Structure 1
Amino acid sequence: MLQARNVVSKLIIGSVLAAAASSVLAQTVIRASSWHPPKHPGVIGGYDPFMNYVKKESNGELDFKFWSGGSLSNAKSTLPTVRNGIADIGVLALTYFPAEFPYAQLVSNMAMFSENPPAIAAAVTELVVLDCKPCRDEFTSKGLVFTSSYSTTPYTLISKTPIESPADLKGKKFRSAGTLWDRWANYVGGTAVNVSSAEMFEALDRGGVDVAVFSPSALKSFSLWDIAKYDVMLGLGTYAAMSLFTMNQSFWRDLTPEQRKILLDGSALGVMGVTFAYMDSDDDVLKQAKQHNVNIVKPGESLVKQRDAFVEEDSKKLQQLAKDQYGIQDAEPIITRYRELLKKWEGIVNEVGPDRNKLAERMQQEIYSKVDPKTYGM
């Protein structure tokens, strides 16, 4: 009888070990890369909650190996890194790649249509995922899959010297994120310099730029308050031409539809997480700025009038710019739809309030529930 029990015990133990081994073998380790620093909103607000959600909802079937701070790829090398499968997921700042992503430049050119970051983040994501096939095709044609955007808070003017009037902008070199901000820099008599956010500190420190055009959060997340003395709160639109969780298409195809659904729903948490982390970071930085000898400056009336005149003039040129610069023959339906989505999501934000989790749930309902994970991105 004892011998029989031993046999049964060994069979049970063997079954448990086999099941455990099978579970380990079934686990997919996703290689994710972000060039954002570890404490950047893109990491603490985006990738961290996204990865936690995916691991939990997949019951550990999906896990992550995560590189941040550009340790695997920097902002401009992320495109080949993800396209070639060195990473499965990565962050793309799409204005760095105007030739590869012309429709993303159109999105970027509409950056001054609103100053409501959560609404912008959701509107851009819905536009691309549901309503703009050419936008999605830009990704699939390169072996990539778009899942989500996000939005910074409104850009401001971070500098070493005071900026009080339009005359102070003339001749300045501006760190620009491209497209719209390049045109604004030219409009005010300055020069646009396209460097990544990760390169802002060095550029401002060494005189490569005179002014960093970025949200106040950069004072802390990129340590600009160690060298800058002024932040002029002239709202210059938000940056939302982002692909936060860009998927390698071969990796995407190897997943089950259920796993793709988890990644899509998790993206909503990341979208709102990054966006609200930017908002939280701005609030935190503005409270601490005085301790770092940074003057937070309300823009003068002449600067505001100049900005408003630029927006009015520039918005009339968007369709022609899209055609001439990016080969988009009929941009009007995309511009119109984006305006509609902005209005829709501004209403949802007003309805829900500043609750990132509830807004993420609304993104899951309004966007990702309408996606077929069996065919999306294929």
Structure 2
Amino acid sequence: MKMIRRLLTSAAALALLAGAAQSRELIFGSWLSATNATNTVAMEPYFAALKEATGGEIDWKMVPGAQLANGPGTPDAVKSNLIDGGITMAPYVPKMLPSMNMIFSQSLIGDDMLAATAAMNDVLMLGCPQCREEFEHANAVGFGGYSVSPYLLMCRGTPQGLADVKGLKVRASGGGVGIMTLAGATPVAMPPNEATTAIERGALDCVLGSVQWLRSFGYMDVVDTVLDAPLGMGGPPVLMYVNRDVWEEFTPEQRRLHIDLMVDVVVRETFDAQMAEDADVIAAAKEKGITFVDAAADFAPVMAERDTQQYAENVANAKAARVENPEAVLDYYLASYAKWQKIIAEEVGQDREKFRAALKREIFDKVDPEAL
């Protein structure tokens, strides 16, 4: 009997060791700060949910603050498996991801952030086979994206409108480059986390970006004026840009879980990391003395002109970058945006749960993890 108990005890110990051996710690290198809401509100709960759903077999660990790779360096870091995953912005690596860069460069006009977010996820995961080919060539898999609220101009000094922007040096990316060029400003390519020092030293006059960057990138201390005019929504930043070898080592069930749980990431990112943060940051900025100037009417002609020219320009740039049939991707994207504007207006409104249900039904349930 004692021998049997010893054997059973040994077998149980071996089983525990085998289970432990199957667990895997994966490194997610984020170039966003440790306190950035995308990290804390959207991604960290996602990693906790994945760990719980897989019984601890998948354990993503966040390393924030560009400790392992900055924004432009993330795709190469993922490709070489320096990190297992990270957040990727195509405009930082346009030669590596020209199709995604084309999508990012097509500014969505207006301020319907929910429709923009949905359209970006739709085209990323269902409407851009060229993007999947580029990811594969870069030894990666990409899924889950988000949109920020319409970009605004955040400046040092006291510009009051379009006339005052002419000649200013503005950090811009994607479709914002064309918008700033039309406005008479000088676009400057620069990761947003590097722009704080550049503004402080006078190397930059303004940043074109999300208003919550005032907090997340420290612009609150160097910006005096925000020109409150919606200057396009661009994206998506890819929330999960994962090394392809790592992805293929997951079981089919684990890959499916990564997709199924991503819908909640997109909802949290949209409502909590973007919309709620925007309102909080605006209140804090006004309390600090930053002036918000209503410049929407001033910039409306610029946005209208940009919208008439950007499609042809983006298609031409994509073809020059050897993207095949770029028109099909942009047509899909714009049709999706129009579709989602209708869904938001007629079904969702600003209701969080209705938005989640629509995203799941129209996009995430249709994503085949094995085809990514």
Q: Select 2:34's aligned residue among 35, 38, 51.
A: 38
**Offset of residue 184 of structure 1:** 1.8
Equivalent residue for 2:91? 95
Equivalent residue in structure 2 for 1:251, among 246, 257, 278: 246
Contact between 2:108 and 2:116, CA under 8 Å: does it hold in 1? no
Is 1:142 the counterpart of 2:138? The answer is yes
Match of 1:174 in 2: 170
Q: For 1:45-194, list aligned pairs within 5 A.
A: 45-177=41-173, 179-194=174-189
Which amino acid is the alignment partner of residue 72 of structure 2? K
Task: Name 2:331's counterpart in structure 1.
Answer: 336
My pick for the range that moved more, 14-23 or 255-264, is 14-23
Q: Secondary structure at the match of 2:261?
A: helix
- Quote the Cα distance in structure 1 between the aligned partners of 2:328 and 2:247: 30
Is 1:354 paired with 2:350? Answer: yes
Report SS of the residue matched to 1:296. strand
Quick one: structure 1 residues 88 and 358, their matched pair in 2 at CA, closer, same or farther if it must change by over 3 Å?
A: farther
Contact 2:152 2:229 in 1 (8 A): yes
Alignment of 1:293-332 (within 5 A): 293-299=289-295, 301-315=297-311, 317-323=313-319, 325-328=320-323, 330-332=325-327
User: Are 1:273 and 1:356, in contact at CA under 8 Å, matched by a contact in 2?
Assistant: no
2:338 alignment partner, SS class: helix
Q: 2:276 aligns with which of 248, 270, 280?
A: 280
Shift of 1:349: 3.2
Shift of 1:76: 1.2
Cα distance, 1:308–1:372 mapped onto 2, change above 3 Å: closer
Assess if the C-alpha contact under 8 Å between 1:153 and 1:275 holds in 2: no
Shift of 1:352: 2.9
Offset, 1:368: 3.0
Structure 1 residues 79 and 59: alpha-carbon distance in aligned structure 2, compared to 1, 3 A threshold:
same
Helix, strand or coil: the match of 1:113?
coil
Count of residue correspondences:
370
Gaps of 5+ in 1: none
> Does the aligned pair in 2 maintain the 1:319–1:332 contact within 8 Å?
yes
Q: Cα 1:86–1:170, aligned 2, differ >3 Å: closer, same or farther?
A: same
Whether the 8 Å CA contact 1:91–1:243 is kept in 2: the answer is yes
1:203 aligned residue (198, 201, 204): 198
Shift of residue 159 of structure 1?
0.8
Instruction: Say whether the 8 Å CA contact 2:84–2:246 is kept in structure 1.
Output: yes
Cα shift readout 1:70-126 (whole Å, capped 9, x = no counterpart): 111111111111001111111111101111111112212222334322322221222
Instruction: Report how far residue 156 of structure 1 moved.
Output: 0.3
Aligned to 1:242: 237
CA RMSD between the two structures: 2.1
More deviation, 342-351/162-171: 342-351
Q: Share of identical aligned residues, percent?
A: 26
Tell me which residue corresponds to 1:228. 223
Moved more, 168-177 or 229-238: 229-238
| Cα shift readout 1:50-86 (whole Å, capped 9, x = no counterpart) | 2122112212221122201111111111111100111
Deviation at 1:176, TM superposition (A): 0.7
Equivalent position amino acid for 1:183 in 2: G
Change (3 A) 1:316 1:225: same
Q: Which deviates the most, 186-195 or 296-305?
A: 296-305
**Aligned partner letter, 2:244:** Q
Q: 1:103 to 1:233 in 2, by over 3 A?
A: same
Closer, same or farther in 2 for the Cα pair 1:330/1:18, shift >3 Å? closer
Q: In the TM superposition, what is the alpha-carbon distance from 1:128 to its structure 2 partner?
A: 2.6
Amino acid at match of 2:299: L
TM-score normalised by the chain length of structure 1: 0.91
Letter aligned with residue 78 of structure 1? T
1:23 and 2:33 matched: no
Distance 1:254 1:16, change over 3 A: same
Secondary structure class of the residue paired with 1:182: helix
Q: Which sits farther off after the overlay, 308-317 or 336-345?
A: 308-317
Distance 1:16 1:33 in 2: 36
Which residue among 351, 363, 366 is the counterpart of 2:362?
A: 366
TM-score under structure 2 length normalisation: 0.92
Deviation per residue, 1:156-214 (Å, 9 max, x gap): 0101122223220111000112x322222221222111111111211111112100111
Pick closer, same or farther for the CA change 1:14–1:359 going to 2, 3 Å.
farther
CA distance, structure 2, for counterparts of residue 163 and residue 32 of structure 1: 40
Worse-matched range after superposition: 11-20 or 59-68 = 11-20
